[in-house]
């Protein structure tokens, strides 16, 4: 399965279920559903032995399908044409039919008293389909056509600005670097012209997938997605609320401070001192990371971090390949095996000049064993330096559990997969950068620079939390029918204001579909995983630093070169999804509960400083 900053399921098959096509349904081969499980005696009902045989066959068929179709999806993502879209669509339809058929067949054993591990595999088979199609004739083909079309629309999106047709990378660079509010507004609104054509197809996709979820025994797709966390769906929703309550005070203080600084810079007419923040002023196309505006909010009178990582990378002669080699070297310093030679031969590390590609960074395992790759349009800057570590985290996780049973070849839950690389990136401290020769000893900032370092980090880590919560909060309301298509955009902005305290730079058109301008919506990638990963990466970091005997502040700890910590971490990764996630989490952290206290501890000095800075300001935005 292709992994787009994600690990949806065991293999490429999981994302095959997200693909679509440009073929018409009648052009596709007929469904080839596997035969139903053989029941020895209908009067006695199915047996445990028959359930075991069924699961063995199901895993074999899913594994074979994954290996067959994964090169097709790689080709489509790295060479977008009508032909590759069509091939991906056909493959996606076949994969959908197989997975839905097996999930439905597994219900034969719902009343059998199965051993715990077998019951776990049955549940994973039933709930592990991200985008299910109903079994009605033509449904899988229609769904496949829609999903591939949505992704292709996003991947080829562009906007003409000042007479030049610009892609997302180019438009994002303007958002990241410009300080002209008129230009920011024009580019921000321009990118969102790509998504209105998605609206009708997206609404149709929701209807089809809810039918598919109903057929598998779920009320809707929201319930099905939330059922993958080893607890009842309603309890998982409550768990998300609990975690948000732990960390939301950090965000509220950061929002208050940043808004005040933007008001000082732009003035009341552009950014008022109270209320929400204008979304296009935050240095990111989706306002999910604010680190690009650090120069506008940098504390006065306090020492800075003393270096600019993007500039240091350029000055040191880094190119994209060397960035990836440096990321690999961090993992091998922990005792992980080096990446296979095929990784370097087959990955797409820079944007090709001769074809359209999906530039959204992603990590892949094409054979569920050693054929790991990344797909990035890498640029030599600090953001992509961190992104490289994130993507390699997926690859090293995939290799760690490659010997697990097929249905367990994934993260303990999807947040684990997203947390691995970011946990490693928390160790990219100034001391680490000095060790690898990117900065000098004289550039390592002293403790008096901690506030600047933490503020810079918070503009990424803390600012992201409510955005991550918003994406799936919106999608859940869409999937359970709370939000109808005519209200998609209105509800999107209601939630973005509620959780993030941001608003668009101007009124949105009646036909706007702004959710579609974020890859994970047309790409159908569940987003809760990112919220959970931002909680868990700090849990992992705290546990690792304790294992390493670190007794200083968490933000100065680096585990680079600690093979003992690496050994324990790799042991957790090797478990895949073979045990419920609390059991997996406990093996490394000693706790069975996701917990936001580590992120609070990490940023504690900054929060105290922000509270002082915000004295006299009217915080909040409602």
Spatial separation of the C-alpha atoms in residues 501 and 504, rounded to whole Å:
11
Between CA 361 and CA 571 the distance in angstroms is 26
Distance in angstroms (rounded) separating the CA atoms of residues 220 and 455: 41
165 is annotated as an active-site residue:
no
Among the options 397, 499, 530, 534, which is catalytic? 530
Q: Give, for 278, the enclosing helix (H) or strand (E).
A: strand 277-278
Query: Which residue, chain included where needed, has tokens 């004289």?
Result: 442
Residue 394: active-site member: yes
SS (H, E, C) 24-49: CHHHCCCCCCCCCCCCCCCCCCCCHH
The C-alpha angle with vertex 13 and arms to 8 and 16, in degrees rounded to 5, equals 90
List the structure tokens of 384: 């992509």
Which two three-digit tokens encode residue 320? 């994209």
Q: What is the 3-state secondary structure (H, E, C) of 535-573?
A: HHHHHHHHHHHHHCCCCCCHHHCCCCCCHHHHHHHHHHH
- Which residues pair with residue 535 across a beta bridge? none
Q: Is 60 a catalytic residue?
A: no
153 and 198 Cβ atoms separated by less than 8 Å: yes
Which one of 10, 86, 361, 577 is the catalytic residue? 361
Q: Which tokens is 84 given?
A: 């590759």
| Assigned token pair, 92 | 């996606």
In 3D, which of 567, 566, 541 has the Cα closest to residue 553? 541
394 close to 115: Cβ distance less than 8 angstroms: no
CA-closest candidate to residue 508, choices 489, 531, 481, 527: 489
* Per annotation, catalytic residue among 87, 189, 389, 390: 390
CA distance 286 to 270: 18
Catalytic entry in 394, 413, 541, 555: 394
Catalytic residue (choose from 58, 86, 91, 360)? 360
Q: What is each CA distance from 118 to 36, 46, 124, 410, 581, in whole angstroms?
A: 18, 14, 10, 17, 17
Listed residue (544, 519, 525, 321) closest to 420, CA to CA: 544
Map residue 116 onto helix, strand or coil. Answer: helix
Tell the residue number behind the tokens 């992603």, with chain if given.
362
Tokens of 322: 């060397």
From CA 588, how far away is CA 570, in angstroms rounded? 9
**Residue with the two structure tokens 């997938």:** 209
Known catalytic membership, residue 598: no
361 is catalytic: yes
| Alpha carbon distances (Å) from 249 to 130, 252, 257, 393, 419 | 33, 5, 13, 29, 22
Tell me the C-alpha distance between 206 and 132, whole Å: 10
Which residue in 418, 517, 541, 602 is the catalytic one?
418
Largest CA distance in the chain: 82
Per DSSP, the three-state class of 365 is strand
- Alpha carbon separation from 68 to 11, 86, 297, 501, 518 (Å, rounded): 11, 16, 51, 46, 29
- Active-site position among 215, 391, 570, 579: 391
Q: For residues 409 and 576, is the Cβ–Cβ distance under 8 A? A: yes
The two tokens of residue 369 are 């064993």
Set 255, 413, 520, 555: catalytic member:
520
The span from the CA of 522 to the CA of 203, in Å, is 11
Tokens of 141: 């083909």
What does the alpha-carbon distance between residue 422 and residue 533 come to, in Å, rounded to a whole number?
8
CA distance 594 to 526: 19
Q: Is 418 a catalytic residue?
A: yes
Positions marked active-site? 360-361, 390-391, 394, 418, 520, 530
């Amino acid at each position: 399965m292709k992994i787009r900053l994600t690990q949806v399921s065991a293999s490429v098959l999981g994302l095959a279920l997200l693909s679509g096509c440009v073929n018409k349904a009648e052009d596709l081969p007929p469904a080839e559903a596997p035969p139903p499980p053989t029941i020895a005696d209908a009067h006695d009902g199915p047996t445990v032995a028959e359930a075991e045989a069924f699961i063995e066959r199901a895993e074999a068929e899913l594994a074979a399908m994954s290996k067959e179709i994964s090169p097709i999806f790689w080709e489509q993502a790295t060479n977008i044409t009508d032909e590759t879209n069509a091939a991906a669509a056909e493959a996606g339809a076949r994969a959908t039919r197989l997975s839905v058929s097996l999930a439905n067949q597994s219900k034969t054993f719902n009343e059998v008293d199965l051993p715990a591990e077998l019951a776990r595999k049955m549940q994973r088979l039933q709930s592990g389909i991200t985008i299910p199609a109903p079994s009605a004739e033509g449904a899988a083909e229609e769904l496949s056509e829609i999903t591939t079309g949505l992704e292709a629309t996003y991947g080829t999106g562009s906007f003409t600005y000042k007479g030049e047709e610009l892609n997302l990378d180019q438009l994002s660079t303007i958002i990241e670097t410009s300080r002209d509010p008129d230009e920011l507004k024009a580019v921000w609104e321009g990118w969102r012209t790509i998504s209105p054509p998605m609206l009708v197809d997206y609404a149709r996709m929701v209807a089809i997938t809810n039918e598919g979820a109903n057929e598998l025994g779920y009320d809707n797709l929201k319930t099905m997605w939330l059922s993958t966390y080893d607890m009842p769906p309603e309890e998982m929703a409550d768990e998300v609320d609990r975690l948000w309550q732990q960390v939301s005070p950090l965000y509220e203080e950061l929002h208050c401070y940043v808004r005040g600084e933007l008001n000082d810079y732009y003035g009341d007419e552009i950014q008022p001192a109270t209320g929400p923040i204008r979304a296009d002023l935050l240095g990111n196309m989706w306002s999910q990371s604010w680190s690009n505006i650090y120069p506008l909010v940098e504390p006065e009178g306090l020492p800075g971090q003393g270096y600019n990582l993007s500039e240091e990378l350029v000055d040191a002669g880094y190119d994209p390949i060397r960035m990836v080699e440096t990321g690999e070297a961090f993992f091998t310093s922990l005792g992980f095996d080096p990446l296979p030679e095929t990784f370097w031969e087959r990955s797409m590390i820079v944007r090709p000049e001769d074809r359209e590609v999906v530039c959204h960074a992603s990590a892949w395992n094409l054979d569920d064993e050693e054929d790991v790759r990344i797909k990035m349009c890498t640029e030599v800057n600090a953001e992509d330096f961190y992104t490289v570590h994130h993507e390699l985290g997926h690859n090293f996780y995939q290799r760690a559990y490659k010997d697990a049973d097929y249905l367990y070849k994934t993260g303990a839950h999807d947040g684990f997969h997203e947390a691995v690389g970011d946990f490693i990136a928390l160790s990219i401290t100034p001391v680490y950068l000095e060790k690898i020769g990117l900065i000098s000893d004289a550039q390592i900032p002293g403790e008096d620079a901690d506030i600047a370092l933490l503020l810079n980090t918070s503009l990424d880590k803390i600012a992201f939390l409510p955005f991550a919560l918003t994406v799936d909060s919106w999608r859940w309301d869409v999937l359970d029918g709370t939000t109808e298509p005519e209200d998609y955009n209105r509800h999107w902005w209601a939630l973005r204001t509620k959780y993030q305290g941001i608003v668009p730079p101007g009124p949105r058109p009646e036909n706007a579909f702004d959710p579609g301008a974020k890859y994970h919506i047309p790409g159908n990638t569940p987003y809760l995983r990112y919220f959970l990963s931002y909680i868990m990466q700090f849990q992992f970091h705290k546990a690792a630093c304790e294992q390493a005997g670190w007794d200083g502040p968490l933000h100065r700890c680096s585990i680079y070169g600690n093979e003992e910590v690496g050994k324990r971490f790799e042991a957790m990764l090797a478990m895949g999804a073979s045990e419920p996630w609390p059991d997996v989490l406990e093996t490394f952290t000693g706790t069975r509960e996701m917990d936001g206290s580590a992120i609070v501890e990490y940023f504690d000095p900054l929060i105290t400083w922000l509270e002082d800075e915000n004295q006299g300001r009217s915080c909040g935005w409602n």
